[in-house]
Structure 1
């Protein structure tokens, strides 16, 4: 038997061995194959072999021993599971041999999870499920899940929308409290019902939230923007207000939109429909002939839209192919043109992108896709909304409010941007690209410089996402010192909050602003809902594409680029798929500064026109792989197409 001294020495030896190990904590990351990685808190990525990866889920937080092999590469040895956030998720029911499993619909998650016989609930192969983890595999590599809900079979009408709502846990129920019948601010409102405001929107839009009017004044115009005022019916902190805050915005899912507010408000009580009295927040502006904004006034008003016009009707009026009996349209167009000219000279204008309209069949699947390019009617409305939002940020001044900011370039891309400047824009050498002034100079130079590189697109891929804050900060994307939005309160909770800030200033009160935690939750929900919308769109798009001629050749452009290949967006449908670099016979090198793949013979660059065919497609997994066709493989351009291109 060992004496006390010996035991102490052994204990100390064990402690020394443990302390001498290279250990760390981090998050498990999956891959397209069976292995994975652990992203350590110190920044290292440590390889996790397939047998170890079998014991964890992507997203798990673990403690590992870091082993260095004879080639100096790091390898992880799992020591402890600290946390596993994976609980409830969705997936597809599959049978492999005698085993019944769920195939998780999770990013970089490549394992099947076992469903025990007592929990299968008569599910059939292919059924879409919501499940819950009941056994973690850390101890022995064996996991288990129970079925919570069988969402439906893959061929059911509307299954894609129901599944997406379940996957992203989008709220579907409204609180039981009654919506007030009366406008809480009716007596305080300015009566503007005789002002001939008109709304301009899509022909089938019911949630109409803005109306416009303009008239000549001095050397410019008076511009009036009236915005629906749901705050007249929704009290801060009420059950309906909290439900709207939890949703954050309306989620536009093809065939099954999830509104932020009940239809009784968005399509009836607050919608600026024609010939009915409506509560509104009204912004009055003076727009000079040069497009400068002055004399900003806000008020709570009672308005009456004098017409519901569609973009198509207004465009036909503007191009002279039809005539509408609304004198304000010509003045609105002139004021909008001046506003845009001023923005182009003093701020920044983002490149226009086409929209794509989906026609759905009885099963709520895409049967046709129409490309919709922006016209003067779209631009007129957009310019008026931008002017109103710019004016709101300016008018609020230093008053408590909610602001939209854009922090500019990502810090990790500063070196790349400066390398591109040195090569392509030497006159800007030494420019402070972290400042608003420097960023404006960069983008304006990118617009006008004759370069073989698509500089605007390169810089656009290096930007940080926008942010919400309770203090004014620069909006780099628009080139503005400050910016705030209030023009979509039926669809965006942040705009409803800004309207409350405007009302508070009008009344000389302090608004109740959200704290940092609430703002972070709003931003996360916005990101979450955008992801839901994008994933359902991809699912339906890929179903549509899978039904086309398998040998069809598509024209597109390179929209994104990384070392593994590039994303191609198809011109006629907006559908995006991936071209793997390894599918191109000649080995390519990736330039992370200019975002291009190249070798001695070939060069692939952002915005480059390419022709592709579908190689692999799985709508449920949202996987689309294109085969790139070299110019000699692509079909010859017809004379009609050539003439259209020249025109």
Structure 2
């Protein structure tokens, strides 16, 4: 029997052995194959073998021991499960022999999870499910799930919308007492019902946020932009306000719209419908003949729109193929042209992209896809909205407010950019791209360059995402010192908040704004809604494409390039898929500076036109692989 000294020595030895081990904590990352990695807190990526990957989920936080093999490569040995954030998820019912499983619809998650007999609830293979993890596999590699809801069968009408709602946890119901009361600002509103405002939107739009009017004067034009004023009816922290905050914005799903505000409000009492008295916040500015903005004023007003016009008719009127009776259209178009010319010279114009309209059949599947090009009516409205939003950012500069910011190029890509510039525009290679004037100069030079490389597209792939801030930081994407948006308060909660900021300044009132944590949560909900819309569109698009034969050839444009291949976008439908570099006969090298794949015989770069055909298509997994023709 060991005495106390011997036991103490053994414990000390054990502690020294543990301390000498290379251990760390990190997050499990999945891959397209059965193995995975652990991203340690110190930045290392450690290989996780298939057998160990069966014991964890992507996203799990684990403690590992790091082993180094003869070649200096790291391999993980699982020690402890620290946290597993995966709880509820959506997926597809799968039968493999005698086993019944759910195939989780999660990124880089390629394992099936077992459904015990008691949980099968008359589900059939292919059904879409909403499940909860009932047993984690860390102990023995075996997992189990609980089926919370059978969302529906693939043949059910509209099942895609129900599934996406559940997957992204989009709120489906409104709380009680979500109605609105009387206009809290009725007594102080300026009566502008004699001003002949008009609205210009898509023919089917019912939630009309903005109305326009312009009149020529000796200095250019007076431009008035009236914006629906739901903030006068919705009290902060009321049930309706909290519901709108939770939704963050209106999510447009094919065949279904998840509104930020209830339809009776967004499409009724607050919508700027023609020939109805409506509460509005009006931005009034003077636009010079050169397109400069001055004399910015804001007011709370009562307006009465004279007409609901659509883009196609207004475009036809501008080009004199249709005669509309609204007299302000000519002045609106002239003012918008001046604004556009000024922006083109002094700021940055975003490249225009076509929209794609889905016509759905009775099964709520895509029957046809039509390409909708932007026209002069779209540009007219865009310039008026930009002018109002730019003016709001300037006007609010000395008051608490929210701003839309864009930090420009990613700092970790500066060297890639400099490498391109040394060859193509050497005078700009040493510029500080974190300064707005230098970035504007870079974009304008890239547009004028005669380089064979698509410089503007290359730099666009190296941009940081935009965000919402409580400080008036620059918006590099537009080339502006500051920018905000208040023109879509029926659809965007951040715009409703900015509207409150405008009212607070008008009335010299105190206002409580979201803190950084609340802003981050708001932005995450906005991203979640956008991702939901994108995934449902992809799902229906891939179903639509699956109706064609695998030999159908499509014209496409290269939209993204990386070392593994490139994403292409079909010209006629906008559907995106991936071409793997390994499917191209001769090995390709990747140029991370110019974002192109090349060898001695061929080159593939951004914006290049190619012909492709499908090689693999799974609409549920939103996986579409193309082959070059």
Which TM-score applies when normalising by structure 2? 0.99
- Deviation string 1:577-617 (CA, Å, 9 cap, x unpaired) is 00001100101111111111111111100000000001111
SS at match of 1:302: strand
Residue matched to 1:154: 154
Asked if 1:118 corresponds to 2:118, the answer is yes
Other structure's SS at 1:252 match: strand
Counterpart in the other structure of 1:428: 428
Output aligned runs, 1:74-93, within 5 Å. 74-93=74-93
- Distance, in Å, in 2 between the alignment partners of 1:71 and 1:266 is 63
After the TM superposition, which residues 314-325 of structure 1 pair with which residues of structure 2 at under 5 Å, given as runs? 314-325=314-325
Q: Measure, in 2, the Cα distance between the counterparts of 1:614 and 1:302.
A: 55
Residue equivalent to 2:438 = 438
Give the conservation status (yes or no) of the 8 Å contact 1:179–1:233: no
Partner Cα separation in structure 1 for residue 625 and residue 106 of structure 2: 19
Name the residue aligned to 1:637.
none
CA distance in 2, matches of 1:169, 1:622: 19
Contact 1:191/1:301 (<8 A) preserved: yes
2: CA distance between counterparts of 1:263 and 1:458?
A: 42
CA distance in 1: counterparts of 2:591 and 2:41, whole angstroms: 28
Aligned position for 2:109 = 109
- RMSD of aligned Cα (Å): 0.8
In structure 2, the partner of 1:582 is 582
1:276 offset after TM fit, Å? 0.4
- 8 Å Cα contact 1:131/1:145 also seen in 2: yes
2:252 alignment partner, SS class:
coil
Contact 2:251 2:257 in 1 (8 A): yes
Counterparts of 1:475-514 in structure 2, within 5 Å, are 475-514=475-514
CA distance in 1, matches of 2:429, 2:622: 43
Query: In 2, are the aligned partners of 1:557 and 1:568 still within 8 Å (CA)?
Result: yes
Partner of 2:613: 613
Question: Which residue does the alignment assign to 1:237?
Answer: 237
Q: Does 1:268 align with 2:268?
A: yes
CA contact (8 A) 2:24 2:40 kept: yes
CA distance in 1, matches of 2:313, 2:332: 15
Q: What is the CA distance between 1:549 and its match in structure 2?
A: 3.4
Per the alignment, in what secondary structure is the counterpart of residue 251 of structure 2?
coil
Deviation at 1:552, TM superposition (A): 1.2
Q: How do 1:181-192 residues align onto structure 2 when only pairs under 5 Å count?
A: 181-192=181-192
Q: Residues 90-146 of structure 1, C-alpha deviation per residue, up to 9 Å, x if partnerless?
A: 000011011100000001101000000001111000000000001000000000001
Give, in angstroms, the shift of residue 461 of structure 1.
0.5
Counterparts of 1:414 and 1:24, CA distance in 2 = 32
* Aligned equivalent of 1:165: 165
Q: d(CA) in 1 for partners of 2:57 and 2:29?
A: 8
**1:178 Cα deviation from its structure 2 partner:** 4.6
Greater CA deviation, 82-91 or 409-418?
Answer: 409-418
Preserved contact between residue 178 and residue 239 of structure 2 (Cα < 8 Å): no
Count of aligned residue pairs for this structure pair: 629
State whether residues 567 and 577 of structure 1, in contact with CA within 8 Å, keep that contact through their aligned partners in structure 2: yes
Q: Any runs of at least 4 consecutive aligned residues in structure 1 with deviations exceeding 4 A, and if so which?
A: none
**What is residue 301 of structure 1 aligned with on the other side?**
301
Question: Which residue of structure 2 lines up, in the alignment, with residue 66 of structure 1?
Answer: 66
Contact kept? 1:553, 1:613, Cα under 8 Å: yes
Alignment partners' CA distance in 2, 1:180 and 1:333: 36
Alpha carbons 1:595, 1:606 under 8 Å: kept = yes
Alignment-derived partner of residue 604 in structure 1 = 604
Residue 13 of structure 1 aligns with which residue?
13
* Counterpart contact for 2:287–2:293, Cα < 8 Å: yes
State the secondary structure of the residue aligned to 1:483: coil
8 Å CA contact 1:59–1:84 kept in 2: the answer is: yes
Q: Write the distance in 2 (CA, Å) between the matches of 1:600 and 1:359.
A: 44
Question: Structure 2: where are the runs of 5+ without partners?
Answer: none
Query: In the aligned structure 2, how far is the partner of 1:189 from the partner of 1:277?
Result: 12
Shift of 1:11: 1.1
Once residues 439 and 11 of structure 1 are traced to their aligned partners in structure 2, the CA distance between those partners, rounded to angstroms, is 62
- Would you say 1:53 and 2:53 are equivalent positions? yes
Q: What are the superposed Cα offsets for residues 323-366 of structure 1, whole Å, 9 maximum, x if unpaired?
A: 00011111111111110111111111110010000000011111
Match of 2:194 in 1: 194
SS in 1 for 2:151: strand
Alignment deviations for residues 499-534 of structure 1 (CA, whole Å, 9 cap, x no partner): 000000000112221111110100000111111000
Q: Which residue of 1 aligns with 2:144?
A: 144
For residues 621-640 of structure 1, the C-alpha deviation after alignment (integer angstroms, 9 at most, x for no partner) is 100000111xxxxxxxxxxx
